[in-house]
Structure 1
Amino acid sequence: MNPWLPTSPCTPLTCAGHDGRTRGRAAAVVLLLAGCAFILAGVLGAPFVLLLAAVRRERLIRLWAYGVVRAFGVRVRVIGPPGAGAPGTLVVANHISWLDIPLVAAVFPGRMLAKSEIRNWPLLGRLAVVGGTLFVERERFRALPATVRDIAAALRGGSRVVAFPEGTTWCGRGGGRFGPAVFQAAIDANATIHPVRITYRTASPRSTVAARAVGGGGRSPGHERAAPAEHTAPAGAAAFVGDDPLIASLWRVVTAAGLTAEIRVLPQIPAGDCPDRRTLARLAQTAVANDSAKRSPESFHH
């Protein structure tokens, strides 16, 4: 079986629902246009940003990526030390949505590992090419060794590489196995693995009602007090799964009010500490899957 072509049971019909608050059509259209405008600005500005010094370039990429997520109406929550992650590391995350890409880039700008089909996506495809994305020809099993060599070379050269080792998107209620191929590249380059966990949450209907009750009857709609963490639910609206058209996923995101994207920065794993790529993949997968992973209490909301 081709390790780049895993299958997921998630489908738009069963996994991409939203039972929380929604935005009106006019507000949703404004957010959709704003998000697309941010992406277009990235496409047009990328050639000039690449001419900047590394520190300034990374700062601008982080600001732009954060802006993309916010422009689509999604709040961002980062748990862990901001600015962590040195160049030359392999950042690995679970995979839920197209939003994962700008979300990770807002914390860890780097060269993304992505399926070759993304080249043909409107706006995002052009941006991926200009941004130095490492493309995977998933239908060609024989291309696997060359792809691993390319990733290892990028890591040795000091690039931060971002990968989603599940190989496909899941709805966020439990994902797939981390494929070992990308971890072989980390071993070959003697790189460090930096796992992160991505979660999309929305206030459940009952928590919204409770927040209104706490805030009193005088609070206007859209200004409810933030619900406690235990009263939030996985946000299926963010899931981009199965044969879901991109435009349908975009529309679900901008119409789902109260959507928060959370990225949890987890402890690093030196590739040299593991005897083989499968062990390394299991360690990273366990770290990402463990909701109770303990980190620094530092966190910030946007």
Structure 2
Amino acid sequence: MSAWLPTAPCTPHDCATHSGPRTRVAAAVGRLLVGIPLVLAGALLTPLLALLGAAVRDRITVLWAHSVLRVFGLRIRVVGQRPAPRRPGHAGGGMLVVANHISWLDIPALGTVFPSRMLAKSEIRSWPVMGVLAARGGTLFVERERLRALPGAVRTVSAALTAGSRVAVFPEGCTWCGQDQGRFTSAVFQAALDAGVPVRPVRITYRAPDGQASGAPAFVGNDTLHASLWRVVTAGGLTAEITVLPPIPAGRHTDRRALAHEARTAVLGTAAAGTAGSGTPVAHAVGMPGAVVRAAVPQTTVASDSANRPASSVHQCDNSIPASASSVRTRS
């Protein structure tokens, strides 16, 4: 494991708890039998979607993402104003969408509101079949463990934003259990500054029927994907709450750290902003390495998909890299 990949003591037993009812085994198996092929179908069709106009592609992506969540047993609640749909024949302006990261479910959760190009670790590109499909579908790749590759990754994201794409990223670099949020890496915000596009913060929360946050969707510590899938489909009454926060206009900040700080404060919410970093972080993410916006209390993060080993999944902790190794420096 790279020295840049931090670790944490969190475990599914401690973090992935659910206070709601449980789904019957037969119903849970049925969810898996339908949900897994639906996810794979989405991956297989992604290259074809890239050939369609932005408006049509968005509608299909939203339908797929909504269906994935519903099939796995989650209700969907959107808080805040949905973005206006893109018109046929118009790509629309670029936008960087940033959200907290809890689970592999976060990708379809974001997709119900903001169909976007995702940022993934470069290892995905070499995967048989799935790597080719991801690349042809517009996924952007970042080499997390190479400092010298960071400026190139920022330029790639900036070019996509400039071309009018929405790019979604989880700037914490690792998932947290949902009780608190981690630090925001700031390098990806440099791409938004370079492209002159707004940043749209989004807060993702998974709730039990009593309205309390549920840890069932959290992909944590020594979790495996099959264990996480089973925990989700057996947790009854889950709701994926997607809070769409006001955009941060282009030009408000000239420094990526200030931009990252405002985005993180928005995602945390006013009440939590003063106590950020007090929770326990957990594993697996897609993000962008770079300088970090520090939480109030220093934390560690889990770096693997299973038993703190380097993971083969797209959901893996990213590196924490000093800001000096990032792209062109902005004014302080």
Matched, 1:195 2:174: no
Write out per-residue CA displacement over residues 206-227 of structure 1, whole angstroms, 9 at most, x where no aligned residue.
Answer: xxxxxxxxxxxxxxxxxxxxxx
Matched, 1:100 2:92: no
Change (3 A) 1:13 1:252: same
Spell out the pairing of 1:205-284 with structure 2 (5 A cutoff). 231-284=210-263
Please state how far the C-alpha of 1:135 moved relative to its aligned partner: 1.7
Give, in whole Å, the separation in 2 of the partners of 1:3 and 1:157: 35
**Letter paired with 1:255:** T
**Letter paired with 1:260:** T
**Letter paired with 1:143:** A
Give, in whole Å, the separation in 2 of the partners of 1:122 and 1:72: 26
Give, in whole Å, the separation in 2 of the partners of 1:40 and 1:188: 35
Residue-pair matches, total: 265
Q: Is the 8 A contact 1:180 1:278 kept in 2?
A: yes
Change (3 A) 1:13 1:281: same
Matched, 1:71 2:71: yes
Change (3 A) 1:256 1:40: same
Query: Under a length normalisation based on structure 1, what TM-score does the superposition of the two structures give?
Result: 0.81
- Choose 1 or 2 for highest CA Rg: 1
**Letter paired with 2:212:** A
More helix by share: 1
**1:11 is matched with which residue?**
11
**2:49 is matched with which residue?**
49
Match among 137, 140, 143 for residue 137 of structure 1: 143
Please state how far the C-alpha of 1:240 moved relative to its aligned partner: 0.7
Give, in whole Å, the separation in 2 of the partners of 1:151 and 1:253: 32
Give, in whole Å, the separation in 2 of the partners of 1:73 and 1:36: 13
**2:30 is matched with which residue?**
30
**1:179 is matched with which residue?**
185
Instruction: Choose between structure 1 and 2 for higher RCO, CA contacts under 8 A separated by at least 6 residues.
Output: 1
**Letter paired with 2:77:** R
CA root-mean-square deviation: 2.4
Change (3 A) 1:44 1:114: closer
Change (3 A) 1:8 1:178: farther
Give, in whole Å, the separation in 1 of the partners of 2:45 and 2:220: 30
More moved, 90-99 vs 272-281: 272-281
Please state how far the C-alpha of 1:80 moved relative to its aligned partner: 1.5
Give, in whole Å, the separation in 1 of the partners of 2:131 and 2:206: 24
Change (3 A) 1:7 1:160: farther
Structure 1 stretches of 5 or more lacking a match? 204-230, 294-302
Write out per-residue CA displacement over residues 108-160 of structure 1, whole angstroms, 9 at most, x where no aligned residue.
Answer: 11111123355578987665334211122212222111111111111001110
SS of the residue aligned with 2:185?
coil
Write out per-residue CA displacement over residues 33-81 of structure 1, whole angstroms, 9 at most, x where no aligned residue.
Answer: 1111211221232233222222111111111111111111111111122
SS of the residue aligned with 2:45?
helix
Please state how far the C-alpha of 1:26 moved relative to its aligned partner: 1.0
Q: Is the 8 A contact 2:76 2:240 kept in 1?
A: yes
Once the two structures are aligned, what percentage of the paired residues are identical? 61
SS of the residue aligned with 2:251?
helix
Query: Under a length normalisation based on structure 2, what TM-score does the superposition of the two structures give?
Result: 0.74
Q: Is the 8 A contact 2:19 2:208 kept in 1?
A: no
**2:168 is matched with which residue?**
162
Change (3 A) 1:256 1:25: same
**1:214 is matched with which residue?**
none
**1:217 is matched with which residue?**
none
Change (3 A) 1:124 1:197: farther
Give, in whole Å, the separation in 1 of the partners of 2:18 and 2:40: 28
Spell out the pairing of 1:82-121 with structure 2 (5 A cutoff). 82-84=82-84, 87-118=93-124
SS of the residue aligned with 2:200?
strand
Give, in whole Å, the separation in 1 of the partners of 2:208 and 2:77: 12
Change (3 A) 1:258 1:3: farther
**1:213 is matched with which residue?**
none
Q: Is the 8 A contact 1:78 1:262 kept in 2?
A: yes
SS of the residue aligned with 1:144?
helix
Give, in whole Å, the separation in 2 of the partners of 1:252 and 1:124: 25
